Structure 1
Amino acid sequence: MSGHKTDTAPDYRDTLFLPATEFPMRAGLPAREPDWLARWARIGIYDRLRDKAAASPRPPFTLHDGPPYANGHLHIGHALNKILKDMVVRSRQMLGHDARYVPGWDCHGLPIEWKIEEQYRAKGLDKDAVPVVDFRQECRRFAEGWVDIQRAEFQRLGVIGNWDAPYLTMDFHAEAVIAAEFMTFLMNGSLYQGSKPVMWSPVEKTALAEAEVEYHDRKTDAVWVKFPVVEVDDVPTELDAFLNQEHPGEAVSRARAELQRVTRAQLLDATVIIWTTTPWTIPQNRAICFGEGIAYGLYEVIDTPEECWATKGALYLIADALAESTLAAARLEPSMYRRVRDVTAEELRGLTCAHPLRGADGARGEWDFDVPLLPGDHVTDDAGTGFVHTAPSHGDDDYWIGRTHNLEMTHNIRDDSSFRVDLPFFAGQRVIEENGKPGQANASVIAKLTEVGALLARKRITISDAHSWRSKAPVIRLNRPQWFAAIDKALDDGMGTHGDTIRKRALTSIDKLVTWTPPTGRNRLYSMIENRPDWVLSRQRAWGVPLSCFTKQGTRPDDPDFLLRDPAVNARIIAAFEAEGADAWYTPGFKERVLDGLHDPAQYDQVFDILDVWFDSGSTHAFVLRDRADGTEDGIADLYLEGTDQHRGWFHSSMLQACGTLGRAPYRGVLTHGFTLDEKGMKMSKSLGNTIAPEDVIRQNGADILRLWVAQSDYTADLRIGPEILKGVADSYRRLRNTLRFLLGNLAGFSEAERVAPADMPELERWVLHRLTEMDAEVRRGFAAYDFQGVFQKLFTFATTDLSAFYFDIRKDALYCDGADSLRRRAARTVLDLLFHRLTTWLAPILVFTMEDVWLSRFPSDDDSVHLQDIPDTPADWHDAGLAAKWSGIRQARRVVTAALEVQRRDKVIGASLEAAPMVHIHDSDVLAALRTVDFADLCITSDITLSGDPIPQEAFRLPEVPGIGVVFEKAEGQKCQRCWKILPDVGRHTHPGTCARCNDALG
């Protein structure tokens, strides 16, 4: 029967090799992490890694930082982005590269300017009354303050980089390079001035790039407007063939003439119905577009209800697919109208309408012009009426129709979205008020249309509309003289390897020169660039790099000498910006200074628009990758890494800019991540109260928990985060920490004298070495593919399942109880040492603080760090597929035994597995033979075990998923060893009281 400790048996606890480590069970990350940050700064980790690469050349790897904007505290999306970048840089470094990371900031542009204007308004000051250089200096100081704040916040995340020398787009050299890059567009002929619709913010009074626009739902008035037909051209009819057969000779001519008369009369009485959600654009209408493949009909109103704007007897031209919904909007039941006949595309092409405001009392002839019907590929019969009101000043499709047919470009709307002061009926009324609310323009236009009888219907609807992501106010499409980069102009610049236009070079780069992670990123950017218009480069603001060029007075934009293209002038501008920054452009006499002796300053005007800030950030490759000593030899980055929104932002602008100045993409790889959402999958919003600030997570849990959340998430999709999710992350962290603590505790005092060669190790240790070869390949492959989730999942499973729940669980007995010189114990400690060096370096890119803690707990040092190490090579000859297959079967058998013992423990038959000595029946002879080559009782942590090939008894425990193995429970016979707690028959028969043979020998 099971024995118990006798009164005479001594306490052997002091003779055991119990774990010894000062590595705490509780991490205390929030309090301890700042000390590691200070330590890394003191020993200069980043610089030492660069020195290491210089001393022994390593292949470079450069992740080029997409510059965050210097105007506020970090949000959780910033943390996600920077942590991912840090994992890339650290993993590449530890895989043997010289991994460089220069953090940077975007410092120019409207958001900062807007903040300064807000401060002015709060003080009752007028921005325009302040000298522009003084205003720009305030913007610079504002940005400098936030750069310092954000730098500390990024470093608190454990992000490594050249923080002492980051790049700023407002540095003098950066501003000089941005200007020089712009001048490349000036000199190669792709720069031009044009007047076309752009995204315009009436609140901010500037053009916006697509990347500066977001879409939100808003309510607006949709209107159905009547355009009366005033002219009908003769057109062939579908009855011509019939007439030729039935009415020979002169009768044909008479019949055709009569048919044309009837057709003309019908159409001259008709009204074209258009539909629009922007009534304020009706005064700017110059045409109506129809779709040549759409079926149209002429519909007669035969009856009307009360309070209806339709007229009895009226003839309306509408697309057949939309006639019912259009007439229903006018309150007409199907019984109140009839379809008269088809109207062909040839007939529509011959129609001319009057503007609905033609002849209105007080219009002063403003709208006394013809409105032609024109075919347009953009017209559909999905919504509206099948006829598209066309205002060339207020839409891309409208603009190109206007260009094609020489329609007039109107200038009725001013910068603040108000109608021009002399426009009849609507003078001075705004589309959007200064506070971003709707102005009176829509209501006034609708009222006037109603007054003149031109309105058929109106309806309040909700649409998704463009808003400025800064002011959150709606934006409008508005024609303004702007500066553009022509992306389809053939460039003779000697960089035509990948195409002779910016668009061709970009599309070729996307397809052939760039690796996309995930691959879907390729399609998104390709389609955007394939279909985008010319790049609007100019902004009507003050804080940024100016369009450093001059125009000749008395010339037009299409004149060859309109733009001054002189390399000598460009060189003077660049030199001035290098010395004084872009503020030099705004100092009195600058034009005279740079043109002196080269051109007559009196003949030229200085352009004061500033560059789109996306051009600034798109140019960073030139002053970071090309110009810095820690840049790249060819000015190309290995990786750009940002959120998916940057397909229309930084990835996009960098591509276009570099294709104009480098002839190709400035990156070889692009990695994109999703957005951050709350636990319910909702977008984070301060108004909803569901935001999570990085500083709050760090204060409560530590930065390593935030980093682990990133590593555990699929960053290619949107990521959820919240208190419950972070609890789960913290639980994973604790389990992993326990594994590492076990390693440290059982490596105390390990020396090279103990090391055992792999060939001399027991099979279990050699199986662990085999698993290390598999894990090493997985980790290297995962890091190379930026699959941090895959790497961590595999490491976590390995650490908690293969190691803690299997190998450590088995080897605790040998580590604690075997003699110091025991081969088994020394082999186990050797394997623990090999595990330590790999686990700490494999996990260091993810858990930067914890792995430093683990490393220094074992190797205390004033100037060492785990982050100065490389991932060690794992010998290929450790790989043993045969051994792995054998141990796969052994582990399956062990599962059945441990499950059987768990039943006995649950039923309180035993308290610990060492009280058992089960009989194990194995049907498969190969498995049975394998089990007989190992100490299976040791593997199952039982005091004894019996293996049998006999048929499995009916009462045996089985696991359905492991067929052919049954376990019959038996209790161990003998007494309990007071040192190792195994129950064995020989306990009490040795020199040392109460011990088994193994423990007696260990005691000497």
Structure 2
Amino acid sequence: MLLCRVSAVSQTLTRWGRRSHRGGGLLHRALSFSSSRCHVVSPGEVSAKPAEAGSAPGLYRDTVLLPRSEFPMRLTGQKLLDRELQIQQECGFADLYSWQRERKAKKEFCLHDGPPYANGDPHVGHALNKILKDIRNRFEMLRGRQVHYIPGWDCHGLPIELKALGELGTSGLSPMQIRQKARQFAEGAIARQKAAFQRWGLMADWDQCYYTYDGAYEAAQLKVFQEMHGKVASVVRFDPVSVPCRTALAEAELEYNPEHVSRAIYATFPLSTLPPEMASEESGVSVLVWTTQPWTIPANQAVCYMPNAQYSVVKRADNSQLLLVATERTASVAALLATELESIGTFTGSQLEGGICKHPTIPDKEVPLLPANHVTMAKGTGLVHTAPAHGMEDYSVASQFKLPVECMVDEDGKFTDLAGPELQHLCVMTEGTDKVISMLAECGALLKEEQCVHSYPYDWRTKQPVVIRPSKQWFINTASLKDKAKEALQKVRVLPESARGSLLTMLDRRTYWCISRQRSWGVPIPVFYHRETGEALINKHTVSHLAELFKEKGSDCWWELPIETLLPDQVLKNSKAGPVTDYVRGEDVLDIWFDSGASWAAVLEESDSRADAYVEGKDQIGGWFQSSLLTSVAVRNKAPYKSLVVHGFAVSEKGEKMSKSLGNVVDPDVVINGGKDPSVPAYGADVLRWWVAESNVFSEVQIGPTALNSARDSIGKLRNTLKFLLGNLQGFDPRVQAVDPKEMHYIDQYMLHQLREYSIKVTDAYSEFDAGRAIRVLQAFITRDLSSFYFSIIKDRLYCDPEDSLGRRSCQTVLEEILDGVTRSIAPILPHLAEEVYLHAPGHDGGETLFKSGWIKSSSVWRRPGLEEAVEGACAIRDSFLSSIPGKNAAQYDLTIAIEPGLLFELMESLQEEATSTSSQLAELMTVARVNLASGLPRDLPPDAPLSHGTFLINLEGGVIREDSAYSIAAVPTSAARCPRCRRYTADSADCLCPRCQTIVSQAH
């Protein structure tokens, strides 16, 4: 195959963006194009008045083949909305997914839908995510693949439960009452979201979706839990508890507020038994501790020191009080207390062993001094108040020294009766803290209170600080899965690649995954507890039986059925367990991330299959992407996806996060249907889809009037081009009138070649999830290759040649291929517009739809040796000529092209066999009156004739043939008159038809 390498690539390419001196690209010229007829104003006379009926040009108006089309130039307002809904109905949008699932296909494309949360109305984040997925699905379906895409919803969880209950709260409601209200709320949200997704044109079987509250889904989830049982355990954990939500939280549900303000205190614990090394010192020494959580003082079981640090007994200058503090912290404590501290004695930490303190607020309670490696000297006094019920490090000390672990705080964050009558029922973070501090002050143990600004965990939903308390939680030890998960990720393609680092970082951060929640709306953890020992009963027999029950009846049966049905005799026997009366069912439910993370097992067709792609926002890096990976690696030793596409968030036009308080929320329903205010237009669904496609989805995606108006205008320009193509194909049937490419004009063959290049580029862009690049390729093709080049060249042949002539049919054949290719290329993004065009397009029977007819049908036959070189060589010459007559009408010139014998001359001869011509392909390309092709310039040129020179590098057969050819151009005003019919300067005299038009008109009569 012959290839061309143009010497000055940039020079050659500029021709595409340059407007023709004959009046520019057809879409830039003065064009009156109604729904039925189009009047083209003469090049060079754009400002002239249209010819009157009795004038010479008016006599021949009916002999000119002007564009005709019923395709509307613009659709706005209610007409646009009605047309989109009509297209959806007529073109079978609702049945398209089922149709493509039933057809035979060699390959399948599986995009597994990450379930949106069923807790509210559809928003632009949904639009960004769902439309991005639909663009890829429609592209793959058009390519002939069988698309597997089942939409789903995440239906359980605390936010739904809270919204469903509203002001009712959980007081007095049974678990089943709570579940019923939560289910009703979720169903309403799903219905609203589903309706919106359908209006956006998403391709799916909306009657076959997945829901995490379906019994079959829950059964599949339990099977994953069963497979992971060896990696799941129930232990005492010190978990952050959301007081408003009354449940333990996972690390992913925490936000750390660096501006949290705590009431920090310095309090004394009098030494009742001095360490042996201090026996000779004065009595009355008190250990000074510092804490930012005064409410934990009642739970104190010890005071810890650092074994290798130095400690001092110091005497206050203001009141002679003796305090034990770390030597390193003495100066800071003195400044804090605003007094001098005199050192009485110094000890190493290990010498404090054996000391016992009195608890400051609980009479007769004593707590030991104990060594601990977690003690630091960064803040405080170097002596740490230790409450084993409210911290993992404290709990470790308690475990080592067999200290009691008393939790005095309930799930509501209030003191229990264990804290004593003064504190019982007080909220620990507010009035409980006040009371503890006042109790310390009353007994003389409070030396100082100060405000401390520090980072503290908050519940991401309620934005309230959490309470750390012990509870028995189910968790997955992800440490044992991390290496396998990382190895699996290496085989996954990540778009953008920069997101891979975030995925790995989030994996590293998760040391464990708490999968239990103390709520009612969720999938119950399938565990039974022995009434006396508390030992958990869970194994493959119990879980398999429950999975079957859930599949048949749904997880409500956990609360509805008697325990004898949940735990029948045969299961007990297989489990080697005692009588059913020894057991009670567990009350915790599974974390919703486990719910959705098991979706691969419930939705993908085969248990060992992987989805081709997961496509979600960047917030899922630590969410669904990770929970899906961990569950799949634990059960199957592989990732559930072949590729991950991570997109950004939708933000306001100013780049701000959307919020009702800022008033910058963009509602997709208002985008499509318009607002109550007439100034807020109805854009329709295709504008919303174009906004998604055009955006750089791998960063934050801005939306607002500017972006939406730009999308609308871009679609309007596209409609203009499509209308021009349809108008010039009126009456043309490609099935019987198409011209074989080998018989076409070279410029037409060249455009087929360009169309093939375009189809390759746009196909590659869609394959990379880069619809934005597909749009840029489309716009460049329309603006550069069509409007500014091809359309401006072919109009004479298209409008003025005989209707059935080879030249005109050749041109129409190409226009039909371009229309078909462009329409198919925009179909994944603009399905409504694409189907609307297809309804008007020639070459297919009524009732056919574009989406059932495949992708762009470009052919390798369109690429012919020497074709590109001939046309691009002529275009380079044309550029030189046009630049020599700036501001003048090219159509009024005769052009002489002088080329010495060689390859370039032979290429130009293929476009014009005779030495001079007004109708050759070369003359058409040059857009002039006449072209003279010679080996040298004539000697009798007028002295003012514009001259230009240039070279063109011909590179054929991969460099085997190379020739740098020179050319010269001379332009002379033509002596011919303008033809009143075709308006070219090819007539013998004024008001006289040119020879071609004479023949056409005479034959018409």
TM-score, length-scaled by structure 2:
0.79
Check whether the contact 1:622–1:635 (CA below 8 A) recurs between aligned residues. Answer: no
Which residue number in structure 2 is paired with residue 466 of structure 1? Answer: 458
Residues in 1 aligned to 2:687 and 2:320: alpha-carbon distance in whole angstroms: 70
CA drift at 1:756: 2.3
**1 CA distance for matches of 2:377 and 2:787?**
64
Q: Which amino acid in 2 is paired with 1:742?
A: F
State the partner residue of 1:938.
924
Give the corresponding residue for 1:160.
203
**1:523-562 maps to which residues of 2 (within 5 A)?**
523-555=501-533, 557=535, 562=536
The amino acid that maps onto 1:975 is A
Distance in 2 of aligned mates of 1:920 and 1:425: 108
Deviation string, structure 1 residues 618-658 (Cα, Å, up to 9, x no partner): 12222211xxxxx3473432221111111221112222222
Q: 817, 822, 828: which one pairs with 1:845? A: 828
For 1:1001 and 1:37, the matched residues in 2 are separated by 48
Alignment partner of 2:580 out of 595, 598, 601: 601
**Deviation for aligned residue 1:194:** 1.3
Match for residue 129 of structure 2 among 49, 74, 81: 81
* Structure 1 residues 756 and 41, CA gap change in structure 2 (3 angstroms): closer
- Supply the AA of the counterpart residue of 1:176: A
Report the Cα distance in structure 2 between the residues aligned to 1:974 and 1:169, rounded to whole angstroms: 79
Deviates more, 1:863-872 or 1:947-956: 947-956
Q: Is the 8 A contact 1:83 1:710 kept in 2?
A: yes
Does residue 145 (structure 1) correspond to residue 188 (structure 2)? The answer is yes
Name the SS of the counterpart of 2:663 in structure 1: coil
The equivalent of 1:617 in structure 2 is 596
SS of 1:189's equivalent in the other structure is: helix
* Cross-structure match for 1:870: 854
In the alignment, what sits opposite 1:641? 615
75-84 or 721-730, larger mean C-alpha shift: 721-730
Higher mean alpha-carbon deviation, 926-935 vs 763-772, is at 926-935
- C-alpha separation in 1, matches of 2:810 and 2:910: 18
**2:502 alignment partner AA:** R
**Shift in Å at residue 420 of structure 1?**
2.7
Q: CA contact under 8 A between 2:748 and 2:811: conserved in structure 1?
A: yes
For 1:979, the aligned partner's letter is R
Q: Distance in 2 between matches of 1:890 and 1:330?
A: 88
Give, as a single letter, the amino acid of the residue that structure 1 aligns with 2:128: L
Work out the CA distance in 2 between the residues paired with 1:447 and 1:837. Answer: 82
Query: Aligned in 2, Cα 1:9/1:865: closer, same or farther, shift over 3 Å?
Result: closer
Distance 1:147 1:420, change over 3 A: same
Q: Return the alpha-carbon distance in structure 2 between the equivalents of residues 364 and 27 of structure 1.
A: 83
Superposed displacement of residue 941, structure 1: 3.9
Partner of 2:410: 414
The one-letter code matched in structure 1 to 2:665 is T
1:47 to 89, 98, 120: 98
Alpha-carbon RMSD across the aligned residues, in angstroms, is 4.7
Instruction: Give the Cα–Cα distance (whole angstroms) in 1 for the partners of residues 446 and 945 of structure 2.
Output: 92
Distance 1:473 1:224, change over 3 A: closer
Partner of 2:26: none
The aligned residue for residue 251 of structure 1 is none
Partners of 2:781 and 2:854 in 1: how far apart? 20
What is the Cα deviation at residue 780 of structure 1?
2.6
Letter in 2 for 1:666: P
Verify the 8 A CA contact 1:271 1:317 in the aligned structure 2.
Answer: no
The structure-2 alpha-carbon separation of the partners of 1:75 and 1:920, relative to structure 1 and needing over 3 Å to count, comes to: farther
Q: Deviations over 1:336-356 (max 9, x none)?
A: 989999x9xx9557667999x
Counterpart contact for 2:266–2:446, Cα < 8 Å: yes
Letter of the 1:195 partner, please give it: V
Give a deviation string over 1:406-430, Cα, whole Å, max 9, x none: 7764413221112233325972465
- Indicate the residue corresponding to 1:795 in structure 2: 778
1:844 Cα offset (Å):
0.9
Q: Does 1:729 align with 2:711?
A: yes
Shift of 1:570: 3.5
Cα distance, 1:704 vs. partner?
A: 0.8
| SS across alignment from 1:61 | strand
Alignment correspondent of 2:984: 982
Name the counterpart of 2:838: 855
Question: For the Cα contact (< 8 Å) 2:270–2:358, is it kept in 1?
Answer: no
Scaled by the length of structure 1, what TM-score is found?
0.79
Partner residue in 2 for 1:249: none
Cα-to-partner distance string for 1:469-515 (whole Å, 9 max, x where unaligned): 2x444433332111223335xxxxxxxxxxxx433432222223x22
Kept in 2, the 8 Å contact 1:299–1:339? The answer is no
What corresponds to 1:440 in structure 2?
A: 431
Cα offset, 1:867, TM superposition:
1.4
Deviation at 1:856, TM superposition (A): 1.3
Choose the corresponding residue for 2:644, options 664, 670, 678.
670
Mean alpha-carbon deviation: is it higher for 28-37 or for 453-462?
453-462
CA distance in 2: counterparts of 1:441 and 1:132, whole angstroms? 30
Distance 2:863 2:511 in 1: 56
Relative distance call for 1:369 and 1:399 in structure 2 (3 A) is closer
Structure 1 residue corresponding to 2:731, chosen from 749, 774, 786: 749
Report the Cα offset of residue 116 of structure 1.
Answer: 2.6
**Can you list the C-alpha shifts for 1:583-625, whole angstroms capped at 9, x where unaligned?**
1111252345632355311111211211111211112222211
CA distance in structure 1 between the partners assigned to 2:658 and 2:327 by the alignment: 44
Q: Please give the alpha-carbon distance, in whole angstroms, between the structure 1 residues aligned to 2:374 and 2:121.
A: 52
Distance 1:348 1:713, change over 3 A: farther
Aligned match of 1:586 in 536, 544, 559?
559
Partner of 2:363: 364
Q: Which moved more, 1:199-208 or 1:397-406?
A: 397-406
Look up the equivalent residue of 2:981 and give its one-letter code.
Answer: R
Deviations 1:963-1004 (A, max 9, x none): 99999987654432222222345355xxxx632233334433
Partner of 2:9: none
How far apart, CA to CA, are the structure 2 residues paired with 1:168 and 1:539?
20
**What is the SS of the residue equivalent to 2:111?**
strand
CA 1:539–1:814: 2 relative to 1, 3 Å: same
The question of whether the paired residues in 1 share the 8 Å contact of 2:874 and 2:925 is answered with no
% identical equivalent positions: 31
1:760 alignment counterpart: 743
- Aligned residue for 1:220, secondary structure, equals strand
The alpha-carbon deviation at position 528 of structure 1 amounts to: 2.1
Higher mean Cα deviation, 77-86 or 667-676?
Answer: 667-676
Using the TM superposition, give the Cα deviation of residue 193 of structure 1 relative to its aligned residue in structure 2, in angstroms.
1.7
* 3-state SS in 1 of match to 2:537: coil
| Counterpart code for 1:938 | E
Cα contact 1:33–1:849 (8 A) shared by 2: yes
* Aligned with residue 997 of structure 1, among 988, 995, 998: 995
CA change 1:417–1:792 in 2 (3 A) is: same
Q: Is the 8 A contact 2:117 2:155 kept in 1?
A: yes
The answer for the alignment partner of 1:482 in structure 2 is: 473
State the secondary structure of the residue aligned to 1:477.
strand
Residue in 1 aligned with 2:149?
101
On the 8 A contact 1:63/1:101 being kept in 2, the answer is yes
| SS in structure 2 of the partner of residue 608 of structure 1 | coil
1:707 counterpart = 2:689: yes
- The 1:219–1:883 alpha-carbon spacing in structure 2 relative to 1, beyond 3 Å, is same
Name the SS for the 2:669 alignment partner: helix
Task: String of CA shifts for 1:219-262, please: whole Å, max 9, x gaps.
Answer: 4236364678979999xxxxxxxxxxxxxxxxxxxxxxxxx999
Paired residues for 1:909-948 under 5 Å = 914=891, 938-939=924-925, 941-943=927-929
Aligned counterpart, 1:681: 655
**How far 1:368 moved relative to its partner?**
2.8
Q: Secondary structure at the match of 1:995?
A: coil
> Equivalent residue for 2:22?
none
Out of 624, 634, 648, which is 1:650 matched to?
624
Any idea what the Cα deviations from partners look like across 1:870-904, whole Å, max 9, x if unmatched? Answer: 21443334345865466556555655665676x62
CA drift at 1:401: 7.1
SS of structure 2 residue aligned to 1:193 = strand
8 Å contact from structure 2 (residues 414, 424) kept in 1:
yes
SS in 1 for 2:59: coil
Q: Of 815, 824, 829, which residue of structure 1 is paired with 2:798?
A: 815
Deviations 1:645-701 (A, max 9, x none): 112211122222223333332222221111111111110001000010111111120
2:74 matches 1:26: yes
Aligned partner of 1:642: which letter? E
Alpha-carbon separation, structure 1, partners of 2:505 and 2:437: 38
- Secondary structure at 2:608's aligned position in 1? coil
Among 415, 419, 422, the residue aligned to 1:423: 419
